[in-house]
Structure 1
């Protein structure tokens, strides 16, 4: 595995640029973090090519959808022109649920399949790992009763985020990777194969 400091700094910068440019609606620069032909984004509410993700993110931003990201610790495994980067993160979304304005904060990791393209690191596939989340009314005095059937539709790692997004009209995918379980074990296996030279970064349609 490569231990190049320049590569490690470049990968960290790549991940930070993703969060800053996406949340700031700097769509032109946001497009540059993705591999130009193979970029793929998976999230609770979207799975598809990076270009489509940029388009729907812009539309949502213009409608007032509030989804923000904050980054923490970072590590990267590098093998030649390929890397797996993992970065601690939080996803926070504010929306109205049954007439009550709430914040959901989801903690997890960005798990990024990266490749060097024309001398620069790019994200080929991003798959968040959802570890835990919580929901809080913006007004502490507000009362909100959650539907337990809808809440239990989603895994522990993003059950409140999935709840809020479903109420907001998003179609939320179930079975995404969490802290433990088959989905995250499959993701780690795909990451190992990517570093070893696999033709594709796993099967994103399965995530």
Structure 2
């Protein structure tokens, strides 16, 4: 069996095509995980992991992924402004396993001691994905922190060039109130 062939791929499918499909499925898992974080939709986060998965969150948490998801279920609804971007995704397929590295750029608006500030952080996720029962999911995730930059909160919408009245803007919300959930209906 070659690195792109595996026991659950469609018989007689071109191995290069199967590899592309596998990589796209893994990329979708990564992106839906981050949608889950941004929209406080922990069902999406939980769906990214196998039931016995391990989460090592860069020194902040280490243990079963389901306990990590439960912790996020408590915290994420209170994180009003937060966005994650996944980039530089490198996927190395090895049968029904994949070694995946991705960069995660996270923005969040925070408040400490009454002062609002914006925080921009870059981390890398080093994941071991496994295909089980035909589905690619995370078996082990290790997060590595790269850098962080905190800055004063200065939401001026391009100093008024985007809008002078931000109350008219359609803003992102948490599940189920965000437009992405209404658009599915």
Report the TM range for the smaller structure's normalisation.
Answer: 0.5 to 0.7
Does the CA contact (< 8 Å) of 1:35 and 1:124 recur in 2? yes
Match of 1:55 among 57, 70, 73: 70
Give the superposed CA RMSD. 2.1
Aligned to 1:86: 101
Q: Summarize the alignment of residues 1-207 of structure 1 with structure 2, pairs less than 5 Å apart.
A: 1-2=3-4, 4-64=19-79, 67-139=82-154
Bigger share in strand: 2
Alpha-carbon displacement from aligned partner over 1:118-176 (angstroms, at most 9, x marks no partner): 11111011112222221101049xxxxxxxxxxxxxxxxxxxxxxxxxxxxxxxxxxxx
**SS of 1:52 mapped into structure 2:** helix
Does structure 1 retain, via aligned residues, the 8 Å contact 2:36–2:42? yes
Give ranges in structure 1 of 5+ residues lacking alignment: 141-207
TM-score (norm 2): 0.67
Structure with a larger share of its residues in helix: 1
Q: CA deviation at 1:36?
A: 1.3
Query: Hey, what's the Cα distance between the residues in 1 that align with 2:110 and 2:139?
Result: 30
Q: What is the aligned length?
A: 140
User: Which TM-score applies when normalising by structure 1?
Assistant: 0.60
Where in structure 2 are there 5+ consecutive unaligned residues?
A: 5-15, 156-185
